[in-house]
Structure 1
Amino acid sequence: MACLFPLLSPFISPSHPPQEGHLTSPDFKRRKSAQAKRARFPFNQSAGSITESEEDDEEEEEENEAEQEREEGERRDQANTAGERSTGGSHCGVKKSVFKVTCGAINGMLHKDRFASGLCGKSIRTELRWMTPVEFVKGESALEDPSWKNDIQWDGKPLSLLIKSKILVIHSLLCKCKLCSPTAKDRHDQDNDDDCFICRSQGSLICCDECPRSFHQRCHLPNVDDTMLGDNLPWVCTFCVLRASQPWRYPSQKTYQEALTCRISDHLLECQYLLLCLYQADKDHIIVADPCINVRNYTSVIKTPIWLDRVVEKLQQNLYRSVQHFVSDVLLIFTNCATFNRDNAEFCVMGERLKDLFEREFKSTFSIQLQHPTASNSQ
């Protein structure tokens, strides 16, 4: 059976139907320079808004980016070939590009295409930041420490095993790639993810100044307008805004019912955060788009269709009055998913997993107090 919902890019509003080229992105990574503040979708700009000098600058920038990408691609291909040809140990034939690594109690994900050496290439992604291997071992220390090869563990074995097997290739001291570049800009460009945190695709991205996450402008909630991205204006994503504001927004815990009765206009941030969590977790897009379009016999089974894109649209159009109305629609998505897929265990499990995530994040986000068992139940 096909996936319950078609694989569509999130947050494409019906008021802006997809046009040719709108669902593709350029290969360069969006950064915080003036030239990088260009809208992802052409219909957000007037026809004469780009001057000839800007076009020339953009062409030159894209040529430079393409050349750098070509050089780095050749290096990655060389490293991949070396890894595929290596022999000798139980881990020598590994072809993965991302590795879960630990150093004591610290966990992270090492990305092979970002790896250069101990001090160059911020290749290890933790929850809070990107780090070089030396930074991962020693925090903010910039001192060379050869023990990083042994102190960082992968699959219970030292990182030196991947280096010895040439799955990880250390760049030469004379390397001139962006990972090894001494310039502050190139180092700063490594502080954020190369993929959109929501849709997991590359392209023109905006980068949070407080965490490693990157986003397409229309994948983030609320959608990000170009006017919010001035050269000297810091931009912070919804995840970081919520984390920073939660202590004073919820000085005391609420009951579940108290949270539901809140006006949604006072809690747009929380609702946007919950929707972003669902979009990010729904890797197969089973609850994203309108199922009535491409799913055969859907309306004969489900009488009240609702999907994630529609919830976003209703939230943006101020059609919800209370948090309860918003929550009811989201929970209806999972009810419909279970009903339509009652004979398909795979999609039922996926729907239950997303429902559990939503309920868990809702309680955490709204600071819901845990229900204490009654005396009779505790005996």
Structure 2
Amino acid sequence: MEILQDLENRGLVQAITDREGLSEQLQSSQVSLYCGFDPTADSLHIGHLVPLMMLKRFQKAGHKPIALVGGGTGMIGDPSGRSTERSLNTEEVVDGFSEAIKQQISKIVSEEGEENPIVVRNNKEWLGQTTIIEFLRDTGKHFSINYMLAKDSVASRIENGISFTEFSYMLLQSLDFLKLNQEENVTLQIGGSDQWGNITAGMELIRRSRENQDEEVKVFGLTVPLITKADGTKFGKSAGNAIWLDGEKTTPYEFYQFWINTDDRDVVKFINYFTFLSQEEIAELEEEVKNRPENRVAQKRLAEEMTKLVHSEEALVQAQKISDALFSGDLKQLSGSEIKQGFKDVPTFEAIKEEVGLVNLLVNAKISPSKRQAREDIKNGAIYINGERQQEVDYKVDANDRIEDTFTIIRRGKKKYYLVNFK
């Protein structure tokens, strides 16, 4: 299937500057395209997955993807989609963020043996070498203030105020498009729906810069829709926290669980957006959602595909093992590293490696509020050690209860988990 048609079928196209012209170019030749990623943190989050997957889709269709890390623009801050000014990071911090993001992008988008591997560039290469005089003469002269004020990214900020720093961001991104057009023959820029103004400004700069040349250069812009969940909340947040692509910031287990918990109303849409499953298989999963939603077959498939893609097959197996252990209560099968993942956010108590009475441990770890309540909890069968119920009030927790001689998982009631870390 032609790439544009596939994207439209999946609901991944918000707007195109010239659909017919772009479709013709995509079918007649290899197209070089780019998407920018500003380094505002030391990791991308799942909100970045749609543009990353877009680059990968074009790559699979035989085109040349370029990811542009904004080591230069990241020093400025994009006003698009924001109501307030961004806080500025130091050059050293932005450089560190840029390198981390470069590694992430290469890992996710590139595949071994790929004929057209992704190219990752950093716009600090040229923005860091451009003088203010060159910028004003060669870029600024092509844009009127009225033109810039008409762009949504600027117009939406006028009332609350926008600094000249952020006001100039549009020109810097336009210069990126021009440079990549000149150096990499990039003719297509993609981005989120909030990037439409910046993308079309870049197209305008390319057109004006080549006005005196005989050959007309056709360039295009394509945006993807803003992703929201069925309940109206912003995609990519879980309990107020971002879901990062870095396994140290969001563990593969947490990442897997995020997708497993996808709302039935969203899961088919997300499978279209984020996976490479065929439309036939997606239709089968949609039937599962309609007829047997309790099995969560679609959610499991989505979680499997995304965890493999962002982390690895091994990480997926580990995440599934943790999930199965928590569901079955058989926690002794978990390794120390798996316990760290699965119980990352539960209350943790550090204890000395010695035999300790269960009642005292429950009180000291603040699992039960008092010794009397601890005894009642034990007698009533509310206390589980590593998944096994313990109803002996005089029970001693010793080395036999320590997984890898370090961790003991205590559950009180049905869902309240606590981790004891023996040092």
Greater Cα radius of gyration, structure 1 or 2? 2
TM over 0.5: no
Q: Which has the higher helix share?
A: 2
TM-score by length of 2: 0.29
Compare relative contact order (CA 8 Å, sep 6+) and give the higher one, 1 or 2: 1
TM-score (norm 1): 0.32
Structure that is richer in strand per residue:
2
